[in-house]
Chains A and B, each alone.
Chain A
Amino acid sequence: MDYRYPPEAEAFRQQVRGWLEENLTDEVKGLDNRGDIEPDDLLILKGWNKKLAEERMVAISWPEEFGGRAAGVMDQVVLAEEMHRVGAPGPLNPIGLNNIAPSIMTYGTEEQKEQYLKPMLSGEHIWCQGFSEPEAGSDLASLRTRAVEDGDDFVINGQKVWNTLGHYADYCELLVRTDPDAPKHAGISCLLIDMKTPGIDVRPLTTMTGAKEFAEIFFEDVRVPKSALLGPLNQGWMVAMNTLSNERAGIANLHLGVRRKIAGLIDEAKSRVVDGKPLTENPVVRSRLAKAYMMGEMQKAVGDVSIAGAANGEPPGAESSIVKICWTEIEHLVAETSAAVLGADALTDRWGDNRLYTRATSIAGGTTQVNRNIVARRVLGLPKG
């Protein structure tokens, strides 16, 4: 066993640290790269994204020809740690970079790679993922949005929903049914479409936090060229699932955000005096904070297992599902802990927002129940019910 990072990763850390010291301005620091971004902030974030891209610091795992550094998992981890440490926002396109790009790299034509990857990296083009539908969430493969071949085109009709950044997006990775007669997983194709195509209607959806963070997308006789197809016809399920195995570094880094929240909550408790005594002398508060701290540290430990597996070239296994479930539960725990520690003040500002926001962690990208089904069947080998 050895939990030290290799010297090359530590050298890269110094390099990143130096660059951030020189380039991260106060204007950029602490901005949120997700969700309901104010137009002014979006401009600032686009500028920051461009700067990161010029330094090849957006998607360092990508091959050099597409603007990456062909970096291994340890460097990815170090970069995330350093960005977090100083409150540097990540790039604008997390879904595009982490979920969509890997599919384009694996299945895209040379033209598609050339056309899409660089502008995605620089933040010039924002992408969204059009998978879920009103009637197809956990059971994604039952999706109904149809694309019919017509000459050199596909004609798309249907509806997508809960598409993060849909209302900002320039492009969309869209799952459509191209063969209604095939078994449900076998009749799906993946298309890369321009969101300005006529017939697309995007309506922002407001989340329970009040933010306009995702959208619903309606398609009415939307005509796209056949060159929009990503991967083989009717193999869209395989194309879409490819992304899921590429998220290991991102999943392993989930502890960074939640541990920062825990540290923030501890600081907040330290600054309070209640009934004439420092709040942190209250035994109930101490034990709740200690438990949250403990779980945050355990999240780092499971993340480390995942990182080590990736660094040693082991294929991604069940641990990704485990790391994700653990993370959602710890996010929930921290949110509840904020209530136990701050009382009614946890209904306000960032803790109030966080209490609501973290409900999404166990829903988005596959619910906790669906992940438990995966663990039960694929890891524990239990029979289907």
Chain B
Amino acid sequence: METNYSAEQQAFRDSLRRYLSDKCDQSFIRENWDEVVPHTEELWGNLVEMGVTALLVPEQSGGLGMGMVDMGVVMEELGRRVNPAPVLASCVGATSAAAIYHCNDLLATLADGSKIGTVAFEEADKTLLSWQQPGVSIKSGKLNGTKVRVLDAMAADVLFVTAADGVYLIAADADGVTIEATEIVDGSRRIADVVFEDAAAEKVGELADFAPVIDRLLVGLSADALGAAEMALFTSLEYAKEREQFGVPVGSFQAVQHMLAEMFQQVEMAKAGLHYALWALDDAEAEEGHRAAVLIKAFIAEEFPHVGAEAVQIFGGAGFTWEYDIHLFYKRLLSAELLLGGSDVWLEELARIAIDR
């Protein structure tokens, strides 16, 4: 039994971590904060070079043919640096969809990073529990309707769209496609509404086959959140050791110690659940992969906002300023809580799994 990343995966993690802390530190994040499309050309080029874009692309389509465990390494690191690159949308979401629906030409361009993709499957009046009954309609090959909270739609060249009778592929600049960015408190992540008005699209396959894409996104986002939570813990721990009041480090106060011990506990639990989910998506039956994905997303939605909030609390007044970085992690955890469905959605799905089955 092994619950950790392998030696190669750890080496990969170390090189990513080094790169991100050298080239994409907090000043880069702040420059790009709230930019509708982040200035990530150089970053994207480097991620391509490190194999991130090709990771989940099957070997026969020119990719590395690796799995979610490897992608977990990437997502944790991006979360640690609240990085704005559209990896979750493109390298997890669109790439998984392209592989499932055998879009081989697209896969090659996703793998070499020349194209960025995303997946559009959420609608305003539905939770993800009913993603299989989309309201976006299709008539003589044309899409009509609106998708919401589409990850990195502004950066995307192509979108996979769930519609009434199947999954469609469409170019972001096609006629009849309008993309409107939504500003959220977490300026390190971008989402948008996408409106389709008689937009001609190509059907790539059936809706039911799309399910693993969502499971992978849930786990990818959870891995990102774990990275952010680890840094929230680490950053506030360092602060607690340095900041002095009453002539002693504030980290010597038991109230503060127990906050940090509790945050550590939540982070360790999440890590355990996340690693299991990564493995289950690669190596267990689809049903078990789904269960594990829902478990970790629900846990993160329930517990991680509190980890971020406690980290802010440990910084006192400094924690409430724009200047200190701790709010960046807090905001990343808030968006991880609520994007792709919050605990209301995923606890209900767990109820279906645990009670109704």
Contact = CB atoms under 8 A, between A and B. Distances in A.
A1 B241 contact: no
A301 B276 contact: yes
Interface residues of A, number: 46
A315 interface: no
B324 interface: no
Interface in B214-264: 237, 240-241, 248-249, 251-254, 256-258, 260-262, 264
Nearest to B277: A301
B356 A280 contact: yes
B2 A1 contact: yes
B261 A298 contact: no
Contacts of A325: 265
B354 interface: yes
A323 to B, nearest CB: 9
A294 B302 contact: yes
A5 B354 CA distance: 24
A326 B253 contact: no
B1 A270 contact: no
B251 A287 contact: no
Interface string B15-50: 000000000000000000000000000000000000
A290 B272 contact: no
A284 B190 CA distance: 33
A382 B347 contact: no
Interface stretch (A111-119, A136-144, A218-226, A303-311): A303-311
A60 to B, nearest CB: 18
Nearest to B249: A383
A113 to B, nearest CB: 31
Contacts of A298: 269, 272-273, 295, 299
Contacts of B284: 3
B204 interface: no
Nearest to A262: B354
Contacts of A2: 1-2, 279, 283
A223 to B, nearest CB: 43
Given A294-B298, A385-B257, A302 B1 contact: no
A380 B268 contact: no
A334 interface: no
Most buried by B among A4, A298, A307: A298
B2 A301 contact: no
A369 B254 CA distance: 10
A291 interface: yes
Question: Interface SS of chain A: helix, strand, loop or mixed?
Answer: helix
Interface in A264-316: 266, 269-270, 280, 283, 286-287, 289-291, 293-294, 297-298, 301-302, 304-305, 307-308, 311-312
By size class, the interface of chain B is: 35 or more
Question: Interface SS of chain B: helix, strand, loop or mixed?
Answer: helix
A1 B348 contact: no
B265 A322 contact: yes
Contacts, number: 146
B310 to A, nearest CB: 13
A102 to B, nearest CB: 23
Contacts of A270: 355
Nearest to A384: B252
Contacts of A385: 248, 252-254, 257
A311 B280 CA distance: 20
A379 interface: yes
Contacts of A377: 257
B261 A376 contact: yes
A361 to B, nearest CB: 15
A382 B260 contact: yes
A240 to B, nearest CB: 24
Contacts of A1: 2-6, 69, 275, 278-279
A5 B248 CA distance: 48
18 contacts: A1-B2, A1-B3, A3-B279, A270-B355, A280-B351, A280-B355, A287-B344, A291-B347, A301-B275, A308-B3, A319-B268, A322-B264, A373-B257, A375-B261, A375-B264, A375-B265, A377-B257, A382-B251
Q: Which 7 A-B pairs have the closest CB atoms?
A: A376-B257, A301-B272, A286-B351, A290-B350, A375-B261, A372-B261, A290-B347
Given A280-B351, A376-B260, 16 more contacts: A1-B2, A1-B5, A3-B276, A3-B284, A74-B1, A286-B348, A302-B269, A304-B1, A307-B1, A308-B2, A376-B254, A382-B240, A382-B249, A383-B248, A383-B251, A385-B253
